Homo-oligomer: A and B are copies of this chain.
Amino acid sequence: MVRATKGARLGPAELLQAAAVARRFYLDGRSKIEIADEFGLSRFKVARILDDARASGLVRIEITTPAEIDIERSEALRAAFDLHYAVVISTPAEPESSLRAHLGRVAADLLSELVADDDVLGVGWGRTINAISSALTDLARCTVVQLSGALTGMTVDESSVELVRRIGAVSGGLVYPIYAPLIVPDAATAAGLRQQPQVAEAIRHHDEITKAIVAIGSWDPPNSQVRDALSDPERARLEHDGVLAEVCGTFIDHEGQELATPLAQRVISITGEQLRSISEVVAVAGGPEKAAAIRAVICGRYATSLVTDQSVADILLAQDAGKIPAGA
């Protein structure tokens, strides 16, 4: 028989046999020995045929993402920033509101998966977190603790307290809400609020939180409800100090360092240090304009996992992905 120069192009007969063998092996799940017996070949010949079939592209194996998750970027992001989990959703040029809902759905799934009964779940605040709570259908019977006070301006349905209650309802576990604003006019008011029984109860649990879900606000470019809630001088001061991102009322600069600001006295929220000590903090944020802020939060170790979209992943990966602060 004329041999078509070694595996380059199989003749029709060999091709058909290879296809039949490959089907038996890969689709029907038969063993090579069974196939060898069936076709009257040695099992070595079968192995060789299968190798050729794969090498020549006759057998094509692909890993497809059934959900709208970008597996490649997710893994790349996880590896590059040493995250526990990174989930990158595909963004088919959708409007912002849809992106948020999309992020919310995926983040809700992740939360369902990660949270166990004995966890104490810390919940941040924001439109994104709200989207998560809307999409959340299953959650272990964990304890749910609010991480910070709320901001005015939301409708009742969107209020931070409702948000936490809704998550608690899905979970069925204990709920510790914070019936207070995120920022109050002066330190004394804040101190007073912190001693309010319910608020104090929630704050007391901040050290017991095992997992948390938070949103990220961006200051450069500005995309943060917290920023919008501040007065002009306050904003100016923070910007002068180089604020880039905001997580649960904690302000972070380019380097991922927390900014020391008098504002901290007036914020009812988990502290930055407490946040950093939680073993699993999932940050959820998307949109290219937030990429820099997300990067700061991740590099500052305020979050251990990230749910975001392709545009952010591309920006973070294109940047100096290698330049990650290793330790705390």
Could you list which residues of chain A lie within 8 angstroms of chain B, going by C-beta atoms? 1-2, 4, 11-16, 19-20, 22-23, 26-27, 53, 56-67, 69, 71, 74-75, 78, 85-87, 106, 109-110, 112-116, 138-140, 307
Contact = CB atoms under 8 A, between A and B. Distances in A.
Given A60-B61, A113-B1, A139-B2, A67 B13 contact: no
B113 A11 contact: yes
A138 B4 contact: yes
A164 to B, nearest CB: 19
A161 B63 CA distance: 54
A23 B62 CA distance: 8
A297 to B, nearest CB: 20
Contacts of A11: 109-110, 112-114
A19 B85 CA distance: 13
Contact of A1 (B58, B75, B115): B115
Contact of A2 (B74, B75, B140): B140
Contacts of A15: 65-67, 69
Contacts of A110: 11-13
Nearest to A79: B20
20 contacts: A1-B114, A1-B115, A2-B112, A11-B109, A11-B113, A12-B85, A12-B106, A12-B110, A13-B110, A14-B113, A15-B67, A15-B69, A16-B69, A16-B75, A16-B86, A26-B61, A27-B63, A57-B64, A59-B63, A61-B61
A313 to B, nearest CB: 13
Copies in the complex: 2
A275 to B, nearest CB: 21
Contacts of A12: 67, 69, 85, 87, 106, 109-110, 113, 307
B58 A64 contact: yes
Contacts of A78: 16
Main secondary structure of the interface of A (DSSP, over half): mixed
Contacts of A74: 16
A16 B19 CA distance: 31
A52 to B, nearest CB: 12
Given A16-B87, A58-B65, A59-B64, 19 more contacts: A1-B114, A1-B115, A1-B116, A11-B110, A11-B112, A12-B85, A12-B307, A13-B85, A15-B65, A15-B67, A16-B74, A16-B75, A20-B75, A22-B63, A26-B61, A53-B63, A57-B64, A59-B61, A59-B62
Contact of A66 (B13, B57, B67): B57
A287 to B, nearest CB: 19
A2 to B, nearest CB: 5
B56 A19 contact: no
A133 B207 CA distance: 83
B75 A113 contact: no
Interface centre among A14, A86, A110, A115 (most CB of B within 10 A): A110
A62 B13 CA distance: 19
A19 B65 contact: yes
A61 B27 contact: yes
A1 B140 contact: yes
A83 to B, nearest CB: 11
